[in-house]
């Protein structure tokens, strides 16, 4: 039975009327929005320094560099920095991905200048002390040893090797044990000098602060930062879809579970196919008890501990993955059932009830995405990163409501071919 369309209230949605956007002369873009219902603020940001810059033999360098930014600066040693952060109950962290590294901070609004000053100090004046470098490197190597015994993580890594073969997305951002082992402290310093700088840095500040005051605070902390040697982010090369079915398996002795990761490439986030595939993915393996996949493979057949699908889209090629954790004896049977559901998904349109339920879910949870300062800050960054426009959330309900079953079927058939699936399995 068709349901009446559900439309959330849009008066509280971020819009051009309440978002301040300004780009500084040194290349930093600032996005700010007030929320005086909370005494806190969230600061999020990204900048173009990721594993795309890493040499193959030292993959993980960007990851280790970003995680080392809070290990000491020219003005604070490791303990002094954390004492300054904890003295006001704030949180500061950095991380790295393929194309960009990110920053995150949370504090009371009255501590904006202090926290921005500490963030700027970490960004502009890191010292990478030897002792902390060795500690973080050992932690990273331990994490990689744990990853090697994780069937889900290794299946995901194998899957990326299939669908992104020969492309930078094939490589894990945190590298491999031997590549991280080869990284020296001096490598972090050189990587920092090459790739860190104000060009391309985007910062979003949301909370109990006047937007213009937030802009002025960023200017004071980072407005005079320059790095004439900052390298531009390399362009991503094109990638053709895989031309035939491919399967990779990895034996991890002693495990009682096998993990399956199968699927195909997906379009980049700005693609017009994004919304049809987003709703289609929800129907296939997310809605309720994990959609059609959950009903077929887990509920009806009892073959999986868990099963779901996920759609990841960013800049460059994305991935559409169907994931399951199963008893090793059931691997082939589970793959056959998942493939059968994929075949049905590309053969016929989704039902009107499935479509309406999924639309209601996406529209209903939109306010939840934006109920925290952090959620709004992340949303502002995505709007900037993917050039969605400051009125994106005002247009979002209509975008969701306009998707048809026919559009889902057409978009799915462009990417998901049951005869050309990438299949990765890790287990005993």
More confident residue, 352 or 3: 352
Q: What is the mean pLDDT of the chain?
A: 95
**20-222 and 246-427 share one fold:** yes
pLDDT tens-digit profile of 58-103?
A: 999 999 999 999 999 999 999 999 999 999 999 999 999 999 999 9
Instruction: Kindly indicate the confidence band of residue 3, based on its pLDDT and cuts at 50, 70 and 90.
Output: very low
Side-chain-facing half-sphere of 136: CA atoms under 13 Å: 25
8 Å CB contact between 406 and 230: no
* CA distance linking residue 337 with residue 38, whole number of Å: 48
The backbone torsions φ and ψ at residue 107, rounded to the nearest 5 degrees and listed phi first, read: -160, 175
Tell the burial category of 183 from Cβ atoms under 10 Å away from its Cβ (0-12, 13-18, 19+). Answer: buried
CA–CA separation, 402 vs 63, rounded Å?
Answer: 40
For residue range 98-147, what is the model confidence (pLDDT) as tens digits? 999 999 999 999 999 999 999 999 999 999 999 999 999 999 999 999 99
pLDDT at 414: 96
Q: What is the DSSP string of 317-373?
A: -EEEEEEEEE-GGGHHHHHHHHHHHHHHHHHSPPPHHHHHHHHHHHHHTHHHHTSSH
d(CA 309, CA 285) in angstroms, rounded, equals 4
Instruction: Decide yes or no: CATH 3.20.20.70 for domain 20-222.
Output: no
pTM listed for this prediction = 0.92
What strand order describes the sheet that includes 20-23?
A: 20-23, 29-34, 202-207, 40-47, 101-108, 91-96
Query: Residue 363's closest CA among 396, 391, 389, 388?
Result: 396
Q: Which of left, alpha, beta for 290 (phi over 0: left; psi -120 to 50: alpha)?
A: left
Can you tell me the distance from the alpha carbon of 209 to that of 40, in angstroms, rounded to the nearest whole number? 9
Average pLDDT over every residue of 278-293: 95
**Is pLDDT above 80 for 10?**
no
Q: What is the pLDDT of residue 7?
A: 37
Dist. CA 423–CA 335, nearest whole Å: 9
Rounded distance between C-alpha atoms, residue 265 and residue 319, angstroms: 4
Which pLDDT score, from 0 to 100, does residue 5 have?
A: 41
Whether 379 contacts 19, CB under 8 Å: no
Residue 11: what pLDDT? 43
Whole-number pLDDT of residue 288:
87
Give yes or no for a contact between 309 and 291, defined as CB atoms under 8 angstroms apart.
yes
Per-residue model confidence (pLDDT) at position 12: 75
State the CB neighbour count (10 A cutoff) for residue 368: 10
Domain ranges of the chain: 20-222, 246-427
**Spatial separation of the C-alpha atoms in residues 195 and 55, rounded to whole Å:** 13
411: CB partners within 8 A, 6+ apart: 273, 276, 277, 280
Q: 360-363 — which CB contacts under 8 Å span 24+ positions?
A: 360/3, 360/6, 361/282, 361/287, 362/278, 362/279, 362/282, 362/400, 363/6, 363/7, 363/8, 363/397, 363/400, 363/401
Q: Whole-angstrom Cα distance, residue 296 to residue 307?
A: 10
Q: Which fold has domain 246-427?
A: Cytochrome Bc1 Complex; Chain A, domain 1 (3.30.830)
Residues 171-200: tens digit of each pLDDT: 999 999 999 999 999 999 999 999 999 999
**Would you say residue 330 has pLDDT above 90?**
yes
Cα torsion 363, 364, 366, 368 to 10°: value is -170
Percent of all residues in the chain with a pLDDT value above 90, rounded to a whole number: 95
């Amino acid at each position: 039975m068709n349901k009446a369309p559900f439309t959330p209230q849009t008066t509280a949605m971020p819009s051009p009327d309440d978002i301040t956007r300004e780009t500084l002369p040194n290349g930093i873009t600032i996005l700010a929005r007030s929320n005086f219902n909370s005494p806190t603020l969230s600061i999020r940001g990204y900048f173009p320094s990721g594993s795309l810059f890493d040499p193959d033999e030292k993959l993980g360098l960007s990851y280790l560099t970003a995680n080392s930014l809070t290990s000491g600066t020219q003005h604070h040693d490791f303990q002094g920095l954390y004492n300054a952060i904890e003295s006001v109950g704030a949180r500061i962290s950095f991380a790295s991905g393929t194309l960009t590294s990110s920053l995150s901070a949370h504090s009371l609004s009255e501590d904006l200048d202090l926290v921005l000053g500490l963030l700027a100090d970490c960004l502009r004046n890191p010292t990478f002390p030897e002792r902390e470098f060795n500690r973080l490197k050992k932690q990273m190597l331990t994490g990689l040893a744990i990853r090697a015994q994780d069937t889900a993580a290794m299946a995901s890594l194998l899957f990326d090797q299939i669908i992104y073969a020969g492309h930078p997305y094939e490589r894990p951002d945190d590298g491999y044990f031997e590549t991280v082992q080869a990284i020296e402290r001096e490598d972090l310093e050189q990587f920092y000098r090459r790739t860190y700088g104000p060009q391309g840095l985007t910062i979003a500040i949301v909370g109990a602060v006047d937007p213009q005051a937030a802009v002025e605070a960023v200017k004071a902390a980072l407005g005079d930062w320059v790095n004439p040697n900052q390298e531009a982010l390399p362009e991503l090369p094109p990638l053709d879809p895989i031309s035939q079915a491919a399967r990779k398996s990895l034996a991890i002795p002693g495990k009682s579970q096998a993990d399956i990761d199968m699927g195909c490439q997906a379009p980049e986030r700005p693609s017009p196919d994004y919304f049809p595939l987003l709703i289609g993915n929800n129907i296939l393996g997310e809605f309720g008890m994990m959609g059609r996949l959950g009903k077929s493979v887990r509920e009806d057949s009892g073959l999986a501990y868990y099963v779901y699908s996920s759609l990841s889209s960013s800049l460059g090629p994305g991935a559409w993955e169907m994931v399951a954790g199963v008893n090793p004896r059931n691997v082939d049977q589970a793959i056959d059932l998942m493939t059968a559901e994929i075949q049905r998904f590309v053969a016929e349109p989704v039902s009107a009830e499935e479509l309406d339920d999924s639309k209601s879910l996406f529209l209903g949870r939109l306010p939840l995405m934006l109920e925290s300062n952090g959620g709004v800050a992340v949303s502002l960054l995505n709007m900037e990163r993917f050039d969605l426009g400051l009125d994106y959330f005002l247009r979002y309900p209509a975008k969701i409501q306009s998707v048809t079953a026919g559009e889902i079927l057409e978009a799915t058939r462009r990417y998901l071919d049951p005869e050309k699936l990438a299949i990765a399995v890790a287990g005993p």
